[in-house]
A and B are shown apart, each in its own frame.
Chain A
Amino acid sequence: MRALCWNGVNDLRVERVPDPRILGPQDAIIKVGLSSVCGSDLHLIGGHVPTMRAGDIIGHEFLGEVVEKGPEVTRLNRGDRVITVSIIGCGKCWHCQQEEFSLCDNSNPQPAFEESAYGHCTAGIFGYSHAFGGYAGSHAEYIRVPFADTNCFRVPEGVTDEQAVFVSDAVPTGYMAADMGNIKPGDVVAVWGCGGVGQMAMKSAFLLGAERVIGIDRFPDRLRAAQMKAGAETLDYSRVDIYDALLAMTGGRGPDVCIDAVGMEADSGGPANRGLAIEDLYDRSKQALRLESDRPAVLRQMIQCCRKGGTLSIVGVYGGLIDKFPMGAAMNKALTLRMGQQHGQRYVKRLFAHIEKGDLDPSYLLTHKWALDDAPQGYRMFKDKADDCMRVVFTP
């Protein structure tokens, strides 16, 4: 089959590789119909997530058709149209039983790296480096899904492919971000990053009862989509000081819930945001020297801006270590910090119900549909955010 392989930093190629096979009794093989790019793929491609190996197939957000299944798969049938949650649960361990699927004890076949770096190993993720299990990804004609009964979900009749594909990753990640904010009626929610996950976090914040939602970005098309599609007010961090603006919008309180949908490659905001240029330089040089793995500009800003006693909800991806974390502010302001990779399996049914009812339509994230053969250019476009690109979806 053909697959998009990572061969080194910023070196992607579509190559011929062997077809996937059933390797365990709970595996299924999915014929990929749609496979989307994701912002966190950019961290992999750029070499910011450790343990990528040349030849790895990337991609973790996809929809397809079950074409083969192992003997222990009972809930799926050949021909089923399914989405697969990007983060793999075994369905049996204590964490999976608590619906904390991204903390699964058993789905990562290569636990040594995470154990030494993080103290414990977490779930395997499709196409997401060997620290997260080394599973082959979905930018391919076929993909093998382990523990298929736990991780594949039949798409309801009334939901289109273009709506469903994002229920694999962007929608549940955004929904979980809002869910972790423990939003109460009347709450103001600020979301850093208006990409796919940020958009879904904004939409979800409203579904969970937020009164106002503020989206922060610098790309006009994303800010426009946040307004038009997600119903948010917006701030352009390249033009306004975010702290001043958020306090002005919230009577000096600050947002009740601050969501980080940006992660480790955060931009510090340029001249409009006081002092951040120096901070940005500091982080970028340390990151370049590998003395710091992540740039925490958004985290620092969220801690400054969040109302006293408020909640930070972090779904933007971080890989390792950050410097100059304002712990004093976080502690003295009694902030709650919540974070994690998505526990998608917990949310899929709820999300499909919202889509069927019409109060959520993630299909607008799909701005470009390209052939898999053009995937390297697709990623370039997505990275450069050219042509108002929100998400490129590949069709094998």
Chain B
Amino acid sequence: MTRGRDGGRRIDGSAGTLERWAAILGGTALGFAGARRGSWALAALGGGLFLAGAAGVPLSSPLRQAALPALRREPTTTQANVTIAVPADKLFRHWRNVRHLAALFPHLDAVEILSDMESRWKAHGPGGVPVVWNSRLDKVRENELITWHTLEGADLPHRGTVLFRPAPGGRGTEVSLTLAYHPPGGAGGDAVSRLFGAAPEQQAREALRRLKRIMEVGALPTIDGQPSGRAERGGAEARLREVTG
């Protein structure tokens, strides 16, 4: 039940029209976002993607190769925010039981509780490369905040904060997750990307989305296992590509 994990990549990996549209729309969004944040690199990247999409340049082209490192050079600190239609105490209790967190990060294999404040985390990177760290809680403020940091020797040293704040107008709780990566080599975002194959910003956002869905509806929505013309024919897409080159 981890559809969110491949939400982005599924789309990326399929037909040409799709890629092109993703480039046009995504590129535009990125361009605007960049301009809004005053980031010319982002804005230019957005513009480039848009033009690539418009001109039908496949995104596996050199442009994309040039673009991706720019995307990956994320700041070491990343934050994601979501509003969940559930009271703060319920969310706090859920998060405080760190075993629950395995469901939020698809790369996590196990969370082992060592003591009230310490836990051991096992994850896997691409190709099943094991990633291990021990984590200790720093601050725990009932229904408000939890902070933690990894201990010496962690494969993925980081600090984290999750904040719960009542949302206005009975909308539930605003949850904000901050992760700061500081591996020995510097450039924390790069290390995370290398280990998990996605921008840390996106990972944080998807973790919060999973939390929201689990807390609001009790499950992650899925289409895995539903019928399509692909299943029986061993991939209509492959055939389509043959036809269209």
Within 8 A of A (CB), among B186-239: 202, 209, 212-213, 216-233, 235-237, 239
Binary flags per residue of A44-69, CB closer than 8 Å to B gives 1, else 0? 00010011111111000000000000
B29 contacts chain A at the CB level, 8 A cutoff:
yes
Query: What bracket does the count of chain A residues touching chain B fall in?
Result: 35 or more
Docked pose: A7 CA to B21 CA in angstroms: 17
Docked pose: A8 CA to B56 CA in angstroms: 17
Docked pose: A23 CA to B21 CA in angstroms: 29
In the complex, chain B residues whose CB is within 8 Å of the CB of A119: 29
In the complex, chain B residues whose CB is within 8 Å of the CB of A110: 3, 7, 10-11, 223
In the complex, chain B residues whose CB is within 8 Å of the CB of A135: 223, 226
B141 contacts chain A at the CB level, 8 A cutoff:
no
Interface on chain B toward A: helix, strand, loop, or mixed SS? helix
Binary flags per residue of B1-29, CB closer than 8 Å to A gives 1, else 0? 00110011011001101101110111011
Contact A93 B226 (CB under 8 A): no
B30 contacts chain A at the CB level, 8 A cutoff:
yes
B160 contacts chain A at the CB level, 8 A cutoff:
no
Contact B222 A109 (CB under 8 A): yes
Contact B233 A53 (CB under 8 A): no
Within 8 A of B (CB), among A315-334: 320-321
A41 contacts chain B at the CB level, 8 A cutoff:
no
Decide yes or no: A94 and B221 within 8 Å by CB, A7-B240, A111-B7 being known contacts: no
List the A residue with the shortest CB-CB distance to B6: A110
Binary flags per residue of B120-161, CB closer than 8 Å to A gives 1, else 0? 000000000000000000000000000000000000000000
Binary flags per residue of A106-140, CB closer than 8 Å to B gives 1, else 0? 11111111001111000010000011011110001
Nearest Cβ on chain A to B234's Cβ, whole angstroms? 10
In the complex, chain B residues whose CB is within 8 Å of the CB of A257: none
Nearest Cβ on chain B to A361's Cβ, whole angstroms? 34
Decide yes or no: A56 and B229 within 8 Å by CB, A23-B224, A92-B216, A117-B29 being known contacts: yes
The stretch of A13-21, A185-193, A195-203, A242-250 that contacts the partner chain: A13-21
A278 contacts chain B at the CB level, 8 A cutoff:
no
Nearest Cβ on chain A to B221's Cβ, whole angstroms? 4
In the complex, chain A residues whose CB is within 8 Å of the CB of B224: 23
List the B residue with the shortest CB-CB distance to A114: B25
A34 contacts chain B at the CB level, 8 A cutoff:
no
In the complex, chain B residues whose CB is within 8 Å of the CB of A281: none
- Partner pick for B221 among A24, A47, A57, CB 8 A cutoff: A24
Interface centre among A3, A50, A118, A289 (most CB of B within 10 A): A50
In the complex, chain B residues whose CB is within 8 Å of the CB of A134: 10, 223
List the A residue with the shortest CB-CB distance to B32: A119
Docked pose: A374 CA to B171 CA in angstroms: 48
B85 contacts chain A at the CB level, 8 A cutoff:
yes
Contact A7 B236 (CB under 8 A): yes
B81 contacts chain A at the CB level, 8 A cutoff:
no
Contact B216 A51 (CB under 8 A): no
In the complex, chain A residues whose CB is within 8 Å of the CB of B26: 113, 116-117
20 pairs of residues in contact across A and B, judged by CB atoms under 8 Å: A7-B229, A9-B17, A15-B232, A51-B11, A54-B15, A55-B236, A56-B229, A90-B216, A105-B212, A109-B4, A109-B223, A116-B22, A116-B25, A116-B26, A117-B28, A130-B14, A136-B227, A136-B228, A290-B56, A291-B54
Q: Which 6 pairs, one residue from A and one from B, show the smallest C-beta to C-beta distance?
A: A50-B21, A5-B229, A117-B25, A55-B229, A55-B230, A112-B8
What would 8 more interface pairs be, CB under 8 Å, given A17-B228, A24-B221?
A: A20-B227, A23-B226, A51-B18, A53-B15, A53-B228, A54-B240, A130-B14, A293-B21
